[in-house]
Structures are given as structure tokens and as C-alpha cells.
Amino acid sequence: SAVISQKPSRDICQRGTSLTIQCQVDSQVTMMFWYRQQPGQSLTLIATANQGSEATYESGFVIDKFPISRPNLTFSTLTVSNMSPEDSSIYLCSTYRESEAFFGQGTRLTVV
Amino acid sequence: KQEVTQIPAALSVPEGENLVLNCSFTDSAIYNLQWFRQDPGKGLTSLLLIQSSQREQTSGRLNASLDKSSGRSTLYIAASQPGDSATYLCAVISYNNNDMRFGAGTRLTVKP
């Protein structure tokens, strides 16, 4: 199974600030994914990040708000910019190995 | 765009009962289907992965089936226990998008 280390596990942030979430995979992977899970909701895909190209964003998510980096095949970051209380959610990164999906532990973000 | 639906949204059963959770998807062109468990405030734990060529997978008291042509999967839990209480999520990876789409989940409560 793939091991994904995600940090921070939680944070409380002031509105208007930005938070960068990091995910480190224990081996090289082609695709990484970022999800948001709002309170009481299921997971919504934010974007797909391939190494060496710009991330592909889902409808309703834009690069200025959620910039993503993918500098190599084992690492990715998601930044939540200019935060508001509506951004309070759990954010999860994910990847595949042999067609099975694996997730980071999640980042619980609270914006006050 | 693939859409995944889970029924019921919530389920409460007495300990020892057998139960079935349902998942349906709109696009049958899938790589695989995966069932996850999520405990409150936690990340996702993979339970079972069914490849598109398979019809079912079993792990302990869990059995997942897949009928790709009708766009359906079921998760059968035998002899339920209070420790099974969690939200169960169904997710599919489609040929067209190569990303994972989630259902809204079924929140299961098993009463002692």
C-alpha cells in the first residue's frame, strides 16, 4: 500500500491569510489528487496534479484560490488562499497505486 | 460526468444484524470501484477494491459486489458490531476522467 504523509493535520487560521498543505508519498506516482470535504458532506475533487504540468481544476475551483504545486513525483502542495470561514473543511490528498486509491490523513482547517 | 449515489443516507441497526449498503453510478465505463470507511474527523480507510473485470470481493465480514452493466455495487456487512459504526463511502474511477468520484456516503450506526 502507498503511504502518504500529509501535514499539517489541523490548523486554525485567521481570515484573509493563506495555508499550504503538504503531501509526501513514499514512492513515485504519476497523478495526485486534492479533495475537500465540507462538514457533513462527502469528498469533492478540487484538482488533479500531474508532475511537470499545471493542475487541472474542477468546476467551481480556481488556481488563484487553490494554487497547487507538483515539483516532483513524490510531493505536492495545496494552498488555500485568502481564507474565509467558508473554507473551513477537511482537505485530503490522494494517489493511486495499481489502481487502488490511497489517502493522506487529512488536514482539518478552521478559519476564524 | 460520472455521478455516484449512495442509498440510504443513514442507517441504524441493532448489533448482530446483517445489512446492505447500496451504491449506483451513471457511467459504466469504470476502471474499478472502491469502498471506504470514514470515522468522524478522520481520514479514509480502504475496505475493498473491485476491479472492473470482477464481480465481488470479500474481506472478513465484508462482501462487495459489482454489476457494471447496471451501474450498481453493494456492500454487505455480516453480523454487524458497534465498532462498524462509521460513514461508508463508495467511489469509482472512470475511464474517461481517470479520477475518483465519491458518493455522499451512508452513515451507519450499530447499536449495542
Residue A78 pairs in a beta bridge with: A21, A68
User: Average pLDDT, stretch A43-59?
Assistant: 89
The band of A101, judged by pLDDT with boundaries at 50, 70 and 90, is confident
Interchain CB contact of B105 with A (< 8 Å): yes
Q: Given a cut of 90, is residue A98 above it in pLDDT?
A: no
Q: What is the mean pLDDT of residues B44-53?
A: 92
> Which chain A residues touch B32 with a CB distance below 8 Å?
99-100
Mean pLDDT computed over B60-73? 96
The pLDDT score that the predictor gives to residue A2 is 65
Query: Measured between alpha carbons, how far is B102 from B93 in angstroms, rounded to an integer?
Result: 9
Per-residue pLDDT, averaged over A88-111, amounts to: 90
| pLDDT digits 0-9 by tens, A54-80 | 899 999 999 999 999 999 999 999 999
Q: Is the pLDDT of residue B16 over 90?
A: yes
Structure confidence at residue B57 (pLDDT): 96
pLDDT at B97: 62
Q: What share of chain B is helix, strand, coil (3-state, %, to 5)?
A: 5, 60, 40
CB contact A97 to B (< 8 Å): no
